[in-house]
Amino acid sequence: MNAAETKTDNDNSFIFYKSLFENHSAIMILVDKSGQIIDVNDAAVEFYGYSKEEFKTMHNYDFNTVPKDELIKYTGQAYNKERSYFTFIHKLKNGELRTVEVHISPISVNGKTFLFSIIHDITEKIELAKKIKESEELFRTLTENMTMGLVLYKEKVIYINPAGEKILGYGENELKSMYVWDLYTDEFKEEAKNGIRRGLSDINYNHYVTFKAIKKSGEEIWLYIYGSSVIYKNEIVRIASFVDITEMVNMRNQIESDKELFKTLIENMPIPVGIYNEKLLFANPAAEKLFGYDKEEFYNKYVWEFFDENDKKFNKIKKSFGKIKNKERFISKYIVRCKKKDGSIIYANFFEMSIVYNGEIAGFGVIHDITDEVLEKRLISEEKEAYKELSEIDELTKIGNRRAFDKKLEELLNAADRYGRALSLIMFDIDRFKDVNDGFGHEIGDYILKEITKLIKRSLRNTDYFFRYGGEEFMIISPETPLSTAKELAERLRLKIEEHDFNIETSLTCSFGITEAVKGDTNASIIFRVDGALYNAKNTGRNKVSWE
């Protein structure tokens, strides 16, 4: 072959490859070793949005988000055939970012080596893969945290969640080697097999069943199963959710078998029991006996007619009948007053709750007559109150109470008046004691009252008499004591209280009022003056001693 023929062949080859380059639908770019773009095909122009003239003034790093130095390194690797495949993010002329995979290989043209790149846009592929991964993670999170079993299967298990493994006692790999119907007892195997095969041929087949299954341990359990057909990997498969209802089935069977026994017990038990909506649906003989009605009268009355309408809880009881009508669930317990046929009132513990009776929501009530206990407690309470009135010792502080104070003051006033002796009366109370009770609670309030009582008792003379007058008010009767001495005593007591640490987050103070007995004083007159003095102490700033 002569030189002319060789040149012609080369020209023909060039024309062929040039035509292939220009017209190929794949994105193609030709660059030199520095990254300078030599040529691009029409697919590249369409994809990136630059004209060919613009491309030929650019380098590959002008539209690649990889840093320039790093891209030059990659270009060198491709030029030296060290690496041929890359994934980049390219920026189009309009600013849009696209993920691309790039296949690069060096080629020789007219004695020069260039890098030939074929580029595929994989943005949608990446997004799709991301969405698939997110969907898989969501599916895994949902199924692995469900409390019910979830299984995907044909004739054998494809997937089962952890809850399903726990219910059946098998691991996933063990279940994958078994036919699904072999999990059931013999009486259900054939039905299960037929249901699965029907579901695998009919995408619209959904059904609920209750089957008895055999756990790996050999224990038999009842499963409530909902199965439906779905498309998975282009074929029909079955998906089913299931729960262990063994306890429920056993309970139902127990109830059925014991129904007659239950009826016998209810009808013969001494405690009144009834089932009702607005009127009685059932009542045992004990209920009839308690209220004094015969059966026909009993069943013709509205249930609330058995309760005393003057009872504070009457309206609450009536509300439960509204809940029955609205098919709401409820459970309540009251101490109530009930009304018998003869009009007499009894006290009762009344427990009621909603139940399903003959397929409808109804009330179930139990009444326990506690009339004797209530009357006995009331009698004891009345006796306690009577005892408190007669007692002269304050229950909390263990010092004399107001009754004792009135008695002792009258006695000492008479003596002072008769013999012309001095007598002073000191009254004090705790400043802002209501704030202490509200802020720290009544237990702390009681502690403060007892602590102040101890503090004052230790500081008084043997001849002084100390009383709790009421609430946070106290009285001190000081015989043979003129006003000047009483002032000194009160000031000393005020300072002791102010300086005492009560172990709470606030300081405590007391205000004092003092008066000295005068000829002809009565309890009422001297108390009036000392109360006025205390009022003055509190009204002029508190934590001080005032006198009249």
8 Å CB contact between 542 and 530: no
The pLDDT of residue 6 is 46
Active site residues: 472
What letter does residue 131 receive in the DSSP assignment? H
Largest Cα–Cα separation, the chain = 163
The pLDDT of residue 136 is 67
Length reported for the chain: 548
**Which own/partner pairs from 121-130 qualify as long-range (CB within 8 Å, at least 24 positions apart)?**
121/27, 121/47, 122/87, 123/98, 123/99, 126/99
pTM: 0.35
Let me know whether 117 and 39 are in one domain. yes
- Give the SS3 label for residue 367: strand
Let me know whether 14 and 113 are in one domain. yes
What letter does residue 183 receive in the DSSP assignment? G
Domain count, the chain: 4
Handedness of CA 457, 459, 465, 470 (dihedral sign): negative
The pLDDT of residue 365 is 87
Let me know whether 364 and 395 are in one domain. no
The pLDDT of residue 261 is 72
Percent share of the chain, pLDDT over 70: 92
Burial 299-319 (b: 16+ CB within 10 A, else e): eeeebeebbeeebeebeebee
In which band, very low, low, confident or very high, does the pLDDT at 16 lie, cut at 50, 70 and 90? Answer: low
32-41, 264-273, 374-383, 510-519, range with the lowest pLDDT: 374-383
Q: Up-side HSE of residue 118: CA atoms within 13 Å toward CB? A: 11
Tokens representing 399?
Answer: 């010092």
The pLDDT of residue 381 is 67
Let me know whether 28 and 121 are in one domain. yes
Percent share of the chain, pLDDT over 90: 51
Question: What are 29-87's pLDDT values in tens digits?
Answer: 999 988 899 999 999 999 999 999 999 999 999 999 999 989 989 988 988 999 999 99
Q: Would you say residue 116 lies in a domain? A: yes
- Give the SS3 label for residue 465: strand
Let me know whether 416 and 543 are in one domain. yes
7-21, 138-152, 235-249, 329-343, range with the lowest pLDDT: 7-21
Domain harbouring 7, CATH code: 3.30.450.20
Q: In sequence order, which ranges of 269-370 are alpha helices (DSSP H)?
A: 285-291, 295-299, 314-325
The residues, ordered by sequence, that sit 6+ positions from 22 with a Cβ below 8 Å of its Cβ are 41, 42
8 Å CB contact between 364 and 314: no
* Mean pLDDT taken over the chain: 88
Question: What are 443-475's pLDDT values in tens digits?
Answer: 999 999 999 999 999 999 999 999 999 999 999
Let me know whether 408 and 536 are in one domain. yes
Q: Can you state the angle between helices 483-499 and 442-459, rounded to 10 degrees?
A: 130
- The domain of 338 spans 272-373
Residue 315 has pLDDT above 50, yes or no: yes
Let me know whether 55 and 181 are in one domain. no
Let me know whether 228 and 305 are in one domain. no
Let me know whether 543 and 417 are in one domain. yes
Question: What are 264-278's pLDDT values in tens digits?
Answer: 777 787 888 888 888
Question: What are 175-232's pLDDT values in tens digits?
Answer: 999 999 999 999 999 999 999 999 999 999 988 898 999 999 999 999 999 989 999 8
**Which residues on adjacent β-strands are paired with residue 393?**
400
CA–CA separation, 45 and 54 (whole Å): 10
In which band, very low, low, confident or very high, does the pLDDT at 15 lie, cut at 50, 70 and 90? Answer: low
Q: Residue written as tokens 């004094």?
A: 292
Chain CA centroid to CA 87, Å: 49
Handedness of CA 25, 27, 31, 37 (dihedral sign): positive
Let me know whether 519 and 399 are in one domain. yes
3-12, 407-416, 422-431, range with the lowest pLDDT: 3-12
Handedness of CA 54, 56, 61, 65 (dihedral sign): positive
